[in-house]
Structure 1
């Protein structure tokens, strides 16, 4: 079983209420400001980040349904793309294929990882500890969130 202990509090201020933000590898590029959000069904890759990753536009598949946000605003997508994402570092990393909706919107994040990917990864997230644990290639893996300074 996956458990969290006091050791997982390292570097975390429990009164801060920081979001769970990690670094992942997508298409062989390190991507910072990746938000772990357990509240939605769509993994999001923001358009400016997609452009910086230098991924061929030919991989984009059409998607015509808009996203409906928290304030019921509609955000149109530029399609979707399936890309490999690596969580963690070797030897305790895990690489899976993720379908991202491509969204052009103003945000402080580059990627938002949602429930489908967390479930596929077998991840358990503790926002209190700012830690995500999952089965990795070398056993159980752990990723710590980046705290605000």
Structure 2
């Protein structure tokens, strides 16, 4: 038992086309067998008691995740994955060896790809006293700063048959002939918003300051051009045709001389900060060595 107050960001459908098709077939069967006699869930004026209108607060609740009462749980119907941030993962005494590998990258935290620590199955409990509901959910662990502790996505909400209303700052779910509910934590919602705005402003100031420092000329480090240049000045994107499937050619060996050159240049790129190692890559390509006129190789 414990309480986590705050932090001091793949696809739940699977990492392959086969897994996604299987999930789709399962969803169709579940729709065919949907319960027809469940209690009707509605929201009315009584649900607005204690709420000052108008407001634009996000729906942030408290939930029990594997015997921990977690605050700052963001109900996000637009998310396709359940997310737990690494700081919380560590505070819950969960271990890296419990994680399953995830190859599908995550998008949407900063506009860039977020590579994942792994996936773990945890229990999620909503409600209190005799109106509690528990399900097991797959959660992606993300090493990224966030004002939230956990993000709950739409499939978990659907499994719990949750109906959410940001206007009423409440979620409701059927419990036989009764209705369970959880009210939103508006103070936490506003704190999360303020923290996110401050973090964005701080990041913008730092990038602007760095951009001014770099305007005097480009930085060269270990023979590698553009080291330390802010994305505000120059940023490269690799455009991929929609519908393209990931490609992973087999690793090639170039011979002792070329392998040594590749190793040295990769180390230089790592040291300069242009590249970083990832464990579960979706795309993979062999390097190409091109002879230079000074009897050296360019990778």
Give the TM-score normalised by the residue count of structure 1.
Answer: 0.93
**Corresponding position of 1:5:** 44
Encode CA deviations 1:59-78: one digit per residue, 9 max, x unaligned. Answer: 21111222011653111110
For 2:129 and 2:176, locate their aligned partners in 1 and report how far apart those are by CA, in whole Å: 8
Whether the 8 Å contact between 2:106 and 2:113 is mirrored in structure 1 is: yes
More helix, by proportion: 2
**SS of residue matched to 2:148:** coil
Tell me by how many angstroms 1:23 deviates: 0.4
Q: 1:110 maps to what in 2?
A: 149
In the alignment, does 2:55 pair up with 1:16? yes
Asked if 2 retains the 8 angstrom alpha-carbon contact of 1:91 and 1:137, the reply is no
In 2: Cα distance, 1:112 partner to 1:137 partner: 26
Give me the whole-angstrom Cα distance separating, in 2, the residues matched to 1:70 and 1:99.
19
Query: Between Structure 1 and Structure 2, which shows a larger proportion of strand residues?
Result: 1
Count of residue pairs the alignment pairs up: 149
Instruction: Tell me the distance in 2 between the aligned counterparts of 1:55 and 1:106.
Output: 18
Q: Which runs of 5 or more structure 1 residues have no equivalent in the other structure?
A: none
1:74 to 110, 113, 138: 113
Aligned to 2:277: none
Larger Rg: 2
Q: Which structure would you say has the larger RCO, counting Cα contacts within 8 Å and 6 or more residues apart?
A: 1
User: Do residues 65 (structure 1) and 104 (structure 2) align?
Assistant: yes
Structure 2 counterparts to residues 37-48 of structure 1, below 5 A: 37-48=76-87
Which is further off, 83-92 or 52-61?
52-61
- Cα RMSD of the aligned pairs, angstroms, is 1.6
Q: Tell me, in whole angstroms, the C-alpha distance in 1 between the residues paired with 2:153 and 2:99.
A: 20
Residues 71 and 29 of structure 1, relative CA distance in 2, 3 Å threshold: closer
State the secondary structure of the residue aligned to 2:117: strand
* Aligned partner (choices 50, 53, 70) of residue 92 of structure 2: 53
Native 8 Å contact 2:119 2:139 kept in 1:
yes
Following superposition, which runs of at least 4 residues in structure 1 exceed 6 angstroms of deviation?
A: none
Please report how far the alpha carbon of residue 138 of structure 1 lies from its aligned counterpart in structure 2 after TM superposition.
7.9
**C-alpha distance in 2, partners of 1:70/1:105?**
8
Unaligned runs of 5+ residues in structure 2 are: 1-39, 191-299
Match of 2:30 in 1: none
Q: Normalization by structure 2: what TM-score?
A: 0.48
